[in-house]
Chains A and B, each alone.
Chain A
């Protein structure tokens, strides 16, 4: 099923853009991706890179690292041209980064954080997780770290002592696995990732239940380093915004479980910035 769809997308990419393949030898655009999306799908990333490269006239290379921090360091250090990062590191480094586009999920550039527990573990609310094992996604994740801590703080609980023990899984899908397999009693995950996983692997998400839905936050954005020439930034923004208008682009978006990419203002992330300030970690 997935393979057939993949073949279909390749076919679309090849036929509609056959004449506009990236010029060989031109310096590639380096695009960092983090676990804000399902970054384990190399085949899909290759297809997307081909599509973007054909539009851009330059090859596009996706760069992956185990942790958000590493991608952010590469971006800030000028070794990446653009990256898909979480809203939390964005608000921390807003001055050094420029918003290129924000994905549109279920009709708006917004998403939620979910707190999940085992489907049959008896835990029905976030408060019941007190004194239990809890899995964070990444210390630089809004949904998988900042929001649940902020929520606890809002309840007047100390996020460092509310749980018996916590650990990082370094990825939202792993957090879902940790809860499903009983390694953790609860976890905070990206709602978009959970929903997308629920479509891809319903047996896995079926072992978990959502016990807390956060308010809507700005969706993890695609940002560029300030060093990237303005022309490139504009071009990349145009291509991403226009992806929903292209058949092959739409097929790729469907794989991502997204409607498309839209322009956004930094103000979209003020809630996250507020939480970051509240927890005293704002940069």
Chain B
């Protein structure tokens, strides 16, 4: 399988598209969750900072008034200790100098505020969380949002509490969300990939069957095209059924074509045979009459008499052979009865006894018919003798006779050598090349009789079972 076909296969594309959609979904989910979490966390952070600032205000004012650096520091530092905590807190005294901070190494006691935070916007609405612009040299890792709470004692400003808020503390949480998303995706993929592979295979299997079968159409005889096709209710199943119907139609057409070819050929052969017979019969009759006349006209010496006998016998043999080709089914007007058919059984008894073949006879024919007795008897006898000959020793021949609607139906079946398909096509021709040992006119005569009686003869060979089936109209069409 080359690369482009590999990627074109649904077996690959299906699990792949499943995986891609799973990854996309997980990615979008993680992004949406992360974004929402960030918004929530920022809101919480701002709210908490504001609440904390207000809660601390009174103590911080006291600390500023009493110059109690430790008290202010202990408050801002909180239980988490210095350099910890999510927000940076800076308490500024009335002179604009740092009084305390929970980042004591960075924001030193007495440090001027404009030196500690040179980028601090001059005008900021108090007690509001203000986003900080990226410009002005703000360290975004340190501060993305700002809260300024001026502290008043008795209406006089005593200082200010500043909170610097940033997303930095949330980055680990973000990472957790992302890693979680990736892990979930990997887990889902571990499940989806084999599932998708299996699903793809299941989906593609009927298509592969179908395409495999289609590729044989046109190369093989549609009648022998046996494929397993999808037959479920899906679209592919419908396709499979339609394809099967198409193949069946093709096979039927093919069979019809063969049949037509065969009948045309046999008809042509029949015409040639009849023509030849007539052409031969006329001079033959003249020659025989000439021999007779010669015999009566004068006494013959022994040598001449022997010569004439030889001539006559040879001419008679030619006459026999030619009339054998000329089947005259309509010669005998006596109508057929069930007994006529049973006679055939009696006639075949000597051959049956000699060959050791068992005959299973089932005659259910008991209706009146205009079919002539003699040709039908000859037809049945020929088929029966053929079957006995083809059946192996100890084998059986089964004959069934019955009337079905307005037709006489006749089956002769034997178990024996199978007939190859190429022989079946020429079975009814006179002197078939593939059967050099047979006399060669039995089935030709059968075919001629059936044709002249307006019926149909078919042969089927399935394995060792060979069946001749004849269907004749009970009322002969008036010719």
Contact = CB atoms under 8 A, between A and B. Distances in A.
Interface in A171-207: 174, 178, 181-184
Contacts of A178: 70, 73
Contacts of B44: none
A21 interface: no
A170 B82 contact: no
Contacts of A181: 77, 81-83, 104-105
Chain B residues touching A, majority SS: loop
Interface string B351-376: 00000000000000000000000000
B82 A167 contact: no
B19 to A, nearest CB: 50
B68 interface: yes
Contacts of A170: 70
B443 to A, nearest CB: 114
Interface residues on A, range: 10 to 19
Nearest to B70: A169
B58 interface: no
A17 to B, nearest CB: 38
B69 interface: yes
B166 to A, nearest CB: 20
The residue in B70, B73, B77 that gathers the most chain A C-beta atoms within 10 A of its C-beta is B70
B405 to A, nearest CB: 110
A182 B68 CA distance: 17
B109 interface: yes
B252 interface: no
B320 interface: no
B109 A133 contact: yes
Interface in B56-91: 67-70, 73-74, 77, 81-83
Nearest to B72: A167
B264 interface: no
A162 interface: no
B108 interface: yes
Contacts of B68: 167-168
B99 to A, nearest CB: 10
Contact of A167 (B67, B77, B83): B67
B258 interface: no
Interface of B: 67-70, 73-74, 77, 81-83, 100, 104-105, 108-110
Given A168-B69, A168-B70, A181-B81, 19 more contacts: A133-B109, A133-B110, A164-B110, A165-B110, A167-B69, A167-B109, A169-B70, A170-B70, A174-B74, A178-B70, A178-B73, A181-B82, A181-B83, A181-B105, A182-B82, A182-B104, A183-B73, A183-B82, A183-B100
13 contacts: A133-B110, A135-B70, A164-B110, A167-B67, A167-B70, A167-B109, A168-B69, A168-B70, A174-B74, A178-B73, A182-B82, A182-B105, A183-B69
